């Protein structure tokens, strides 16, 4: 667990409390936990473009607790990286509490992944299978609450919905009673991938709990985020792939501006982002602004210097 560029600050000193943000009455714009992608450099970039709250990629709690190497590689932050939520995959309340204690000085809260539909995660007892285990979710929340001394440290869950929405509402009400700070709802079932997001389901959940709800699913523009926010009555909107394609989306840009690409290059180089990650993010960002021929050339580049030369020659960056 490293701190890049600037020393980390204790979360008690962080000025922006997510709970207070959710009660502001404004749309809270959230960067989703994305495996491989929502790391420190990308979080730094989207924060420059009106993203209010960022999540880390999902981290397996057991590995994080057991291995110093895992902690150093999976969790990197700095002073400007706030407010920050660390998302964990967990199936054991004690291990999750240990992981929460480790990150508590460096983050505003943790999130329990109860929504990942990937087979490997569900086979391990992580992710979306937890929406069918409300007692385990309750125990994990309680253990974190009992073992983390900071009362402002948030504990949230990110879920998918059931086919029978009454089960989802029941899960959310039980989670609220246990002390969950807020709930993020991806408006699809475990089986659904590209089907339309069920806005009505998110609205129904919001109407049946008193804690904040973040709406999630297929947001590609600020206008879509505002539309989802208004329809569902949610307190915030979370985006994933939309932000990958356009990190300036929440600032109202329809496609990635060149300034954002320039900012990414500066941030990535300053923080020592590995080449594969550096290049992959640029491939996503430039998807809409490059021709097929340009994509073939750019995507085949194999070094940071080659990428920098290409951006200088073609875009003056």
Q: Which residues are annotated as a binding site?
A: 33-35, 87, 186, 240-241
Helix (H, G, I), strand (E, B) or coil at 80: coil
Rounded to whole angstroms, the Cα distance separating 184 from 176 reads: 12
Distance of alpha carbon 281 from alpha carbon 21, whole angstroms:
29
Closest C-alpha among 284, 191, 213 to residue 30: 213
Task: Please identify which of the residues 54, 104, 114, 116 carries the catalytic annotation.
Answer: 116
8 Å CB contact between 22 and 109: no
CB of 136 within 8 A of CB of 126? no
Nearest Cα neighbor of 61 from 132, 133, 144 is 144
54 catalytic? Reply is no
Q: Which residue positions form the known binding site for FMN?
A: 33-35, 87, 186, 240-241
User: Interhelix angle for 199-207 vs 222-232, to 10°?
Assistant: 50
| Residues acting as catalytic residues | 116
């Amino acid at each position: 667990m490293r701190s890049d560029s600037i020393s980390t600050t204790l979360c008690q000193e962080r000025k922006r409390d997510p709970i207070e943000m959710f009660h502001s009455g404004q749309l809270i714009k959230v960067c989703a936990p994305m495996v491989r992608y929502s790391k420190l450099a990308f979080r730094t970039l989207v924060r420059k473009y009106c993203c209010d709250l960022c999540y880390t990629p999902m981290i397996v709690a057991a590995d994080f607790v057991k291995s110093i190497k895992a902690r150093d590689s999976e969790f990197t932050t700095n002073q400007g990286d706030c407010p920050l939520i660390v998302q964990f995959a967990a199936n054991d309340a004690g291990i999750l509490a240990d992981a929460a204690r480790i990150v508590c000085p460096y983050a505003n809260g943790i999130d329990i992944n109860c929504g990942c539909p990937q087979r490997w995660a569900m086979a391990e007892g992580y992710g979306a299978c937890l929406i069918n285990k409300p007692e385990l979710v309750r125990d994990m929340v309680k253990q974190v609450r009992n073992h983390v001394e900071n009362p402002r440290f948030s504990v949230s869950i990110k879920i998918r919905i059931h086919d029978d929405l009454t089960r989802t509402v029941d899960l959310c009400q039980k989670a609220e009673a246990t002390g969950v700070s807020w709930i993020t709802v991806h408006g699809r079932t475990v089986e659904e991938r590209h089907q339309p997001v069920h806005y009505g389901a998110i609205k129904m959940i919001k109407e049946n709990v008193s804690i904040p709800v973040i709406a999630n699913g297929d947001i590609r523009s600020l206008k879509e985020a505002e539309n989802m926010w208004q329809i569902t009555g949610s307190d915030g909107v979370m985006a994933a792939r939309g932000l990958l394609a356009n990190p300036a989306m929440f600032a109202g840009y329809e496609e990635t501006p060149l300034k954002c690409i320039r900012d990414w290059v500066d941030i990535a180089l300053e923080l020592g982002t590995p080449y594969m990650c550096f290049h992959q993010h640029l491939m996503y960002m430039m998807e809409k602004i490059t021709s097929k021929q340009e994509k073939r050339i750019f995507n085949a580049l194999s070094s940071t210097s080659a990428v920098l030369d290409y951006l200088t020659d073609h875009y003056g960056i």
